[in-house]
Structure 1
Amino acid sequence: MGRSKKLKNLHSVFKDKAKIIKTKFSFTNHITSSIQIAVLRATTRSARSPPPDHLISALVSFSHTTRHSALACISTIINRLHHHHQPNVYVTLKCLITLHHIVINGSFILNEQISFQPMSTTSFGFLNLSRFVDDTDKQSCEFSLWAQWYARFLENNLSTSTILGCYLSLSKSEMEKKKEKLKFSLYIDLFKEIEALVSTVEEICKAPKSLHCQKNDIIYEVTKLVGEDYRMIQYHTMIRLTQLSDRVQNLSTNELNELTRCLERLETCKERLTELFLNRRRNQSFWDLETELMAKLVWLKEDMEMKSVSWKMIEYETESTLLKKQLVWYQVDRCDSWLFKN
């Protein structure tokens, strides 16, 4: 069994080397072949560690040139993700890690290409790895669950970025510009964006329960990258919740209820997030804001209910008074009619 596994790994290594040699001598465009070689080297089967920084940097650099290079970069990674020789969880995780790095650090050209991918049926629609399984050994089976979850997270992340109109990772100056624009956003748009951000947080919480796997370098890299995105999700959520907090007096009862349910969903994620990131990236100010806004929403809803009850009582008393007056007039009218007849 062990010998058979070693032979399979050796065969895979030779196959990767053969692909690199074949690509070098192919008649494809020089840039395209360079991208293909860089992807193969970054996602090789011969190592079980995350892709080396210099190879990631090389791929990111392609995203700063032309749209053609950016698209070729994405297509090559997706092709590698789904068409390597046999299910290999390390190749799969490396492809996803490489894609994640490129999305975070790529230029606006690449981010623009990626932003529209979730809407397409020909690219990120195939990122779904829900049926992916590498049953080579027990660890490969466990890591397969991480690959499935990581793919779902990236899909959710990219979809959320499309709704926000920008990727999660923004520079300080870009974030300040975004904050200014949010001042003029409608409630319905703010809530739609918060809903998307909360959904991404919920997806994070669906990470496999086998947290001991984080001791492995490649799973540790996955959780580190997801953790960095979670930190940005907190910031994006905070600036939108702050906007809603300033306008909360103008929200209707239905809008207050919707926002309350959204915050309740976020609150249920807190314990799992703490467990997943081992008390890192807690950002207490984020949870303080959430608690403060929730308390404000509860108070406003209670106040609205009290006012509603008061108005109903006033309406009831008014109707009761009118009814009494009508009854008195009716009795007087009957009395006058009787006197007149007699």
Structure 2
Amino acid sequence: MSGGGTQNSLRRALGALKDSTTVSLAKVNSDYKELDIAIVKATNHYERPARERHIRAIFAAVSATRPRADVAYCIHALARRLSRTHNWAVALKTLIVIHRALREVDQTFHEEIINYGRSRSHMLNMAHFKDDSSPNAWDYSAWVRTYALFLEERLECFRVLKYDVEMDRPRTKDLDTVEILEQLPALQQLLFRILGCQPQGAAVNNFVIQLALQLVASESIKVYQAINDATANLVDKFFEMQRHDAAKALEIYRRACQQAERLSEFYEICRCMNFGRGEKVYKD
């Protein structure tokens, strides 16, 4: 066996040992042992998708029907998992759990994460994350950082719009001028982060990254629809605007045209990636 193969096998064994040790400690020491175990198992070191039953256990813990203290504990546990790991698979799978929760759990989860970020350092700040265990891990780490930036922007867009553009009907057709000039730049910045999620190098062929990219790409459709509706609304109001607002509107319109072209290229890249070909998704 080559030195690289031996090293990778050792890393996998150490990762599995870390996960099993964390699970064992949770069984003894945690007041939320079932949740802690689900988080470890959903975000373990194995370089494959998490089992759906572990993700669903986490979603149950952050629903609107649960005590706020329980939800806060879950968010803190996910944040701790992100801040302590140097493994790309653990970081990526934790971000996927958070992303899916934003899509599939009620919107109180958005508010709880935003509140968590106000009281502590932002849990999605992955600017310094790196897994330097292999050349491939460098490429995976770069995509993890980009994905975290997208999720940060997703929350910021929710804060500005006061609703989740992916989960709710777009409301940008009927905004007044002040609202358009506030909300449209937030939507364009979110689309900018979506377009930045194009993987590079070894990340292109990584199945777990492809699963996360599918989520990102699917959200671009509603984001772009909301931008189109807002841009049409902006054009209708253009000749009624004050001079400084009209200057802002022209810049927004210019950026919308540029992003439309880039989005077409992004979709073509995604189409060529053959998402999920020949891989097993763990759903039990």
Residue in structure 1 matched with residue 242 of structure 2 by the alignment:
252
Q: Deviations over 1:44-83 (max 9, x none)?
A: 11x2122233322221122223222322222111111111
In the TM superposition, residue 15 of structure 1 has moved relative to its aligned partner by 1.6
Residue in structure 1 matched with residue 222 of structure 2 by the alignment:
232
2-side partners of 1:242 and 1:275: how far apart?
23
Structure 1 counterpart SS, 2:268: coil
1-side partners of 2:73 and 2:232: how far apart?
40
1-side partners of 2:188 and 2:82: how far apart?
28
1-side partners of 2:12 and 2:133: how far apart?
10
2-side partners of 1:142 and 1:223: how far apart?
15
Q: Does 1:147 align with 2:136?
A: no
148-157 vs 230-239, which deviates more?
Answer: 230-239
Residue in structure 1 matched with residue 17 of structure 2 by the alignment:
14
Q: 1:37 to 1:129 in 2, by over 3 A?
A: same
In the TM superposition, residue 253 of structure 1 has moved relative to its aligned partner by 3.3
Residue in structure 2 matched with residue 202 of structure 1 by the alignment:
192
Instruction: Please point out which of 130, 134, 137 is paired with 2:134.
Output: 137
Instruction: Please point out which of 255, 258, 261 is paired with 1:265.
Output: 255
In the TM superposition, residue 201 of structure 1 has moved relative to its aligned partner by 1.4
Structure 2 counterpart SS, 1:44: coil
2-side partners of 1:211 and 1:139: how far apart?
8
Q: 1:208 to 1:130 in 2, by over 3 A?
A: farther
Residue in structure 1 matched with residue 279 of structure 2 by the alignment:
none
Larger RCO, structures 1/2 (Cα 8 Å, 6+ apart): 2
Q: Deviations over 1:132-157 (max 9, x none)?
A: 11111111111111011111111111
Structure 1 unmatched ranges of 5 or more:
282-342
Residue in structure 2 matched with residue 217 of structure 1 by the alignment:
207
- Give the helix-richer structure, 1 or 2: 1
1-side partners of 2:61 and 2:123: how far apart?
23
Residue in structure 1 matched with residue 54 of structure 2 by the alignment:
55
2-side partners of 1:240 and 1:228: how far apart?
20
In the TM superposition, residue 224 of structure 1 has moved relative to its aligned partner by 0.9
Q: Deviations over 1:67-124 (max 9, x none)?
A: 223222221111111113xx11111111111110111111233122124345x1514x
Q: Deviations over 1:255-287 (max 9, x none)?
A: 222112112122223343233332779xxxxxx
- Contact 1:35/1:76 (<8 A) preserved: no
- Contact 1:35/1:72 (<8 A) preserved: no
Residue in structure 1 matched with residue 275 of structure 2 by the alignment:
none
2-side partners of 1:211 and 1:188: how far apart?
42
Residue in structure 2 matched with residue 187 of structure 1 by the alignment:
177
Q: 1:251 to 1:209 in 2, by over 3 A?
A: same
Structure 2 counterpart SS, 1:116: helix
Q: After superposition, where does 1:32-111 map in structure 2 within 5 Å?
A: 32-45=32-45, 47-64=46-63, 65-66=65-66, 67-84=68-85, 87-111=86-110
Aligned CA RMSD, in angstroms, stands at 2.4
Percent identity reads 21
Q: After superposition, where does 1:149-164 map in structure 2 within 5 Å?
A: 149-164=146-161
1-side partners of 2:135 and 2:270: how far apart?
29
Paired positions, count: 266
**Which amino acid in structure 1 is aligned with residue 28 of structure 2?**
F
- Contact 1:89/1:134 (<8 A) preserved: yes
2-side partners of 1:143 and 1:97: how far apart?
14
Moved beyond 4 Å, runs of 4+: none
Q: Does 1:122 align with 2:120?
A: yes
2-side partners of 1:234 and 1:33: how far apart?
42
- Contact 2:197/2:213 (<8 A) preserved: no
| TM-score using structure 2 length | 0.84
In the TM superposition, residue 209 of structure 1 has moved relative to its aligned partner by 5.5
| TM-score using structure 1 length | 0.71
Q: 1:72 to 1:202 in 2, by over 3 A?
A: same
In our comparison, the structure showing a higher alpha carbon Rg is 1
2-side partners of 1:240 and 1:271: how far apart?
18
1-side partners of 2:53 and 2:188: how far apart?
34
2-side partners of 1:121 and 1:214: how far apart?
36
